[in-house]
Amino acid sequence: MDESDSAVTELASWQAPDYANPDVFGEREVIVGSGEFAVSGTLSIPLGDGPHPAAVLLAGGGPFDADGTVGPNKIYKDIAWGLASRGIAVLRFDKATFAHAEKVSATPEFTPREEYVPPAVAAVEILGGLPTVDAARVFVVGHSMGGKLAPRVAAAAPSVAGIVILAGDTQPMHWSIVRVLRVLADIAPAALTALPPLETAIEQAEMVDSPELSPATPTDKLPFGMPARYWLDQRAYDPVAVAATLHIPMLILQGERDYQVTVAEDLAGWRAGLADRADVTIRICPADDHLFFPGAGPSLPDDYARPQHVDADVVADIADWLMSA
């Protein structure tokens, strides 16, 4: 199979969800950010003069492309097309960890801040500068680690009108890894072959918490082989505390079937810090897993390899909230 055949196969594996209507919006490519870590982005713009509300999509942890490709699925393309079909402009973009993997791995100073804040702020500015977008109604919609970092982005970009957090983790990521390993040992032990042993993950998590952690700590003693500066930055960032300082509305959605970010631990953090605020809406999605794919029974890693789409009700909830916020 040559590259053109591979491209055709990939395109054929994804079909637009029923809630998307590509006849009512257009798309074009843009460059997000500047310098060596600038990335490609895709603008989805509703037809008509507007002014339209707009959203920047922040991907989860790992080297995601702009579409959020997971097996045959494209979770962020689902969301972008669903929102654009409802009159909301959307900008999604490749992560630097996807577009510039070698540069990132060769830059020990590349922390979660560099991973998320500069490109997201640049994306907010791009949307705010479009003639058909209402610059006073540009929002940030973050998924997983992108949801965790959404408050940090909003703090750095005062023009952000509000944030949507989809399965945003509040537990320390290095301990979430340990939790996931324990869950998979029960529900899908075969998935553990590509992951570190539990004992190693615990030792690495303990090192992240240790007062001995410093920029000189070897990467082989840390989760995922990420450099110490990455974990020092993670350790210093409290998403709930930062969110509490923001005077903007927030929508927080959490899948009840999600084993990577959970109702019992992660959503509990958002509730503890924000539930008393009238401008914060928190909803549990009973049928949904971590990628907001609806289903029944325990969520399993193999589910992500089956073609499906982000829950239509979730896309509708986000769109309705953005339109009314």
Question: Which tens digits make up the pLDDT trace of 124-155?
Answer: 999 999 999 999 999 999 999 999 999 999 99
Beta strands across the sheet bearing 52-58: 25-32, 39-46, 89-93, 52-58, 133-143, 163-166, 250-255, 280-285
User: Catalytic one among 176, 290, 299, 303?
Assistant: 290
At residue 62, the pLDDT reads 93
Q: Which CATH number fits domain 3-172+238-324: 3.40.50.1100, 3.40.50.1820, 3.40.50.720, 3.40.50.10490?
A: 3.40.50.1820
Tell me, yes or no, if 94 is annotated catalytic: no
Tell me, yes or no, if 2 is annotated catalytic: no
pLDDT band at 10 (very low <50, low <70, confident <90, very high): very low
User: Hey, what's the torsion of the CAs at 204, 210, 213, 219, to 10 degrees?
Assistant: 0
Q: What's the rounded mean pLDDT across residues 150-170?
A: 98
Note whether 299 and 292 are within 8 A (CB): no
Cross-strand bridge partners of residue 281: 251
Spacing of C-alpha 217 from chain mean position: 28
Q: Where do the structural domains in the chain lie, given as residue ranges?
A: 3-172+238-324
Dump pLDDT digits (tens) for 54-94.
999 999 999 999 999 999 999 999 999 999 999 999 999 99
Dump pLDDT digits (tens) for 265-319.
999 999 999 989 999 999 999 999 999 999 999 999 999 999 999 999 999 999 9
- Tell me: pLDDT of 8 over 90: no
How far, in Å, CA of 33 to CA of 299, rounded? Answer: 36
- Tell me: pLDDT of 9 over 50: no
Work out whether the CA dihedral 133, 139, 143, 145 comes out positive or negative. Answer: positive
CA-wise closest residue to 175 among 139, 220, 205: 205
Distances (CA, A) of 281 to 153, 248, 278, 318: 19, 12, 8, 11
User: Catalytic one among 144, 174, 288, 299?
Assistant: 144
How far, in Å, CA of 245 to CA of 77, rounded? Answer: 31
Tell me, yes or no, if 309 is annotated catalytic: no
How far, in Å, CA of 61 to CA of 63, rounded? Answer: 7
